[in-house]
Amino acid sequence: MTTEEKRESGSLRDQRNSAQKKRSQITWFLLLVAASVAADQWTKRLALNAFKAYEHIPLIPGVLEFCRIENRGAAFGILQGRMVFFYGITAVVCLLILTVTIKTPAEKKYNGFLLALAMIVSGAIGNLIDRVVRQSVVDFIYFVPIDFPVFNVADIFVTCGTGLLMILILWFYRDGDFAFLSISSVCPTASDAHGSARNQKEQENRTEKKGV
């Protein structure tokens, strides 16, 4: 085996390893989203079966209560009654996050980033299921000291995921860590296309020489 053949063999092996890592990354991302959505729907089902509407049940007296309400707005009760808007914005958010997930390099340093995205999309999907099935979202957790709007597990996912994402972007990642999200990575320039065509032509020439 020539040096060139060894180099090509190593390159193919690296590509297969990279593809395998990427499949594993996407798989655990989807499994995490599925588990989180299932947990959200399970807690809402418990709330529907265990609590009467607007009944206050102290969990930690003076601090935390269960109080089931039907929320026709967004997280924490804002934007009441705008279902079509929520369908559209949820679809856009989920599509955007899925696109970013696919483009994110399969490297350990991005695990926290993907965790944050998984939490956000899980919360969005969890509340979307409620809106489609019940035309309202089941909220049942009430934080008493600050009279905070009643919320649910999906809201917690969205809030924690957004907070984690902000922390990572502000204090952990550097500007160059997100170069894979640049426009040039999505839409190759003419020079990139020309270089790719030239490399393909060189590969074809090498294959012809081997055949001779």
Catalytic residue annotation? 139, 155
Q: Which long-range contacts (CB under 8 A, 24 or more apart) does 67-71 make?
A: 67/140, 67/141, 67/142, 67/150, 68/138, 68/139, 68/140, 69/138, 69/139, 69/140, 69/150, 70/134, 70/136, 70/137, 70/138, 70/139, 71/136, 71/137, 71/138, 71/139, 71/150
CB neighbours of 207 closer than 8 A, spacing ≥ 6?
Answer: none
Give the span between the Cα atoms of 207 and 69, in whole angstroms: 68
